[in-house]
Amino acid sequence: GAESARRPGVTVDSSKAKTSLEALKISLRQLRWKEFPFGRRLPCDIYWHGVSFHDSNIFSGQVNKFPGMTETVRKITLSRAMRTMRDLFPLEYNFYPRSWILPEELPLFVAEVRTMKDSNPSWKPTFIVKPDGGCQGDGIYLIKDPSDIRLTGSIQSRPAVVQEYICKPLLVDKLKFDIRLYVLLKSLEPLEIYIAKDGLSRFCTEPYQEPTLKNLHQVFMHLTNYSLNIHSGNFIHSASANTGSKRTFSSILCRLSSRGADVKKLWSDIISLVIKTIIALTPELKVYYQSDIPAGKPGPTCFQILGFDILLMKDLKPVLLEVNANPSMRIEHEQELSPGVFENVPSPVDEKVKVAVIRDTLRLMDPQKKKRKDTQCPRGRMSSGPSQADPVVLCCRCQSPERAPGANEEPPDAAPGPEAALPSLCLKQVFPKYARHFSYLRLVDRVAALFIRFLGVKGTTKLGPTGFRTFIRNCKLSNSNFSMAAVDILYIDITRRWNSMGIDHKESGMCLQAFVEAFFCLAQKKYKALPLHKQVLSLIELCECRLAALHGKRLVWGCG
């Protein structure tokens, strides 16, 4: 107890926490950590930002945002990333609705819908249009035909994604609902992902009917956004987790289980969806990360809580709707006392779920945990004991048996502290725990590593023509059938097309998405007889092998 009292507390800068402040304060009180609500002259262990990594300049510690995350999960960028992965692995990425990007793919959208209708006259689709930068349901509308898209001047200045609408969702109490699950990206390299065991279920406020021309405009029937439905006269605020217009996801699972549904399989499918989505997002994130925090430059380590919005179909198949970089962590709602007069009222359902997520995220990121662990075992590593279902590890110094810390267990502390009084972690590790089932999907990650290697200038996110030529030359990809002149033409054509889409004009050059397209094109030229994912894998292995050989030669030359 005396040792615990002498231990310096973890310091948290909450000056930029914004709407997550109340949940953060409760979490810090439960952990007995030191809060600095107005910032601090000295560095803090953890900086909690409400919106962006760039809220202030931070050169040490940990910050709860990744650079570039907001841009990476925008609807258009997410749709492009998912499309790339679906091209490689069609069956593994069938949990995201078919999407088209407006305005650039409007002709393609019109043509594909016409073709599908001609081949299947009974097909009566509905589509949902979502503005790229929209949030809280802003600007979303449903259409039955491509000609119904609102082609105003704003579509050019405010691009959008149009997707197939899920017409047969699972209903509870005759209402459509979605799930907000909280996912912690604890580390990018190595990749480490946790999923909260509970989330929120947000309900529509009018009984669901399949879309028709008459009900397309009824947002309280079709759109599950809390920020929209709270304005409905049918919205029910409830202190119970099992009733009302916002409930815990665990209450829905209990209800499904009581009806005989296979809840374990549903959770397994959701975990798979989350891991595959993060794998699709990490290549772009790594480019942003190396740009903001180049290797060798002082900077913080990053982690982030993401909000996954998931819809369940009638057959319990989960469908990804979108990913939120800044999910709301508010634990109260506004209640109108009289016309125009509002007060904030606590929301027990929000508090139960969100405080646990923030508190246990902080527990996982505790910077003193590693110090305490290293104090117990100075060499700081463990050697595996016998392989068992519940593994035992041996401390390398004393060789005394210890239980391996699992997804829901904390490493043993030197002395009992506030952690002893806390419930078990609400966050379950899913990666690298299940890495062996998903690592084969990380092809674009390896392409991104090649891209970053040839960027050259620190702090940039785009590859210049010299860098692209160096990549081709060092990997020995040019030959009599593919000259360096052809390399230049490929670079110019792809880069010009991507730049014309309005993708980040702040710097010139080839963005990662354009490089991936060029890489796929090279793979298809070189390995014509293979399916796309094997073509890409073959070219990755060839490039990595030749670059490793080149590096080895340079080491020999250096020694010489």
CATH number of 490's domain:
1.10.238
Alpha-carbon gap, residue 546 to 542, rounded angstroms: 6
b (16+ CB within 10 A) / e for 239-253: eebeebbbbbbbbbb
Q: How distant, in Å, are the alpha carbons of 22, 79, 103, 202, 371 from that of 358? A: 11, 28, 39, 20, 22
Q: Is residue 220 part of a domain?
A: no
Q: Which of 407, 437, 467 is the last residue of a domain?
A: 437
Whole-number pLDDT of residue 384: 37
Q: What is the full per-residue pLDDT of the chain (560 aa) written as tens digits?
A: 444 444 568 999 999 999 899 999 999 999 999 999 999 889 999 999 988 877 667 888 999 999 999 999 999 999 999 999 999 999 999 999 999 999 899 999 999 999 999 899 888 899 999 998 777 667 899 999 998 887 654 555 678 999 999 999 999 999 999 999 999 999 999 999 999 999 999 999 999 999 999 999 999 999 999 989 988 989 998 889 999 999 999 999 999 999 999 999 999 999 999 999 999 999 999 999 999 888 777 788 999 999 999 999 999 999 999 999 999 999 988 776 677 777 888 899 999 999 999 999 999 999 988 666 655 554 443 333 333 333 333 333 333 333 333 434 444 444 455 666 899 999 999 999 999 999 999 999 999 999 999 997 777 899 999 999 999 999 999 988 899 999 999 999 999 999 888 655 567 899 999 999 999 999 999 999 899 999 999 999 999 999 999 887 776 666 65
**427 and 320 in a common domain:** yes
Q: Minimal CA–CA distance to 68: which of 328, 312, 285, 300? A: 285
Full domain range(s) for residue 78: 9-94+173-202+246-371+423-437
Q: Is residue 128 part of a domain?
A: no
Bridge-based pairing of strands 34-36 and 11-16 is: parallel
Q: Which of 437, 461, 479 is the last residue of a domain?
A: 437
**349 and 288 in a common domain:** yes
- Render pLDDT for 492-516 as a digit per residue (tens, 0 to 9): 999 999 988 865 556 789 999 999 9
**252 and 183 in a common domain:** yes
**191 and 61 in a common domain:** yes
Q: Is residue 113 part of a domain?
A: no
**36 and 185 in a common domain:** yes
**360 and 501 in a common domain:** no
Q: Is residue 360 part of a domain?
A: yes
Helix (H, G, I), strand (E, B) or coil at 469: helix
C-alpha count within 13 angstroms, C-beta hemisphere, residue 536: 24
Q: Minimal CA–CA distance to 353: which of 21, 22, 48, 23? A: 23
Q: Is 0.75 topped by the overall pTM?
A: yes
**429 and 281 in a common domain:** yes
**495 and 449 in a common domain:** yes
Q: Minimal CA–CA distance to 354: which of 246, 238, 196, 185? A: 196
Q: Which of 437, 463, 487 is the last residue of a domain?
A: 437
Alpha-carbon gap, residue 171 to 168, rounded angstroms: 9
Alpha-carbon gap, residue 74 to 162, rounded angstroms: 13
Give the CATH number of the domain where residue 15 resides. Answer: 3.30.470.20
142 forms bridges with which residues in the sheet?
128
Q: Is residue 118 part of a domain?
A: no
**362 and 276 in a common domain:** yes
C-alpha count within 13 angstroms, C-beta hemisphere, residue 334: 11
**197 and 51 in a common domain:** yes
Average pLDDT of every residue of the chain: 87
Q: Is residue 321 part of a domain?
A: yes
Domain count, the chain: 2
Q: Is residue 266 part of a domain?
A: yes
C-alpha count within 13 angstroms, C-beta hemisphere, residue 88: 26
Find the distance separating the first CA and the last CA of the chain, reported in whole Å: 59
**191 and 337 in a common domain:** yes
Cα–chain center distance at 219: 27
**454 and 353 in a common domain:** no
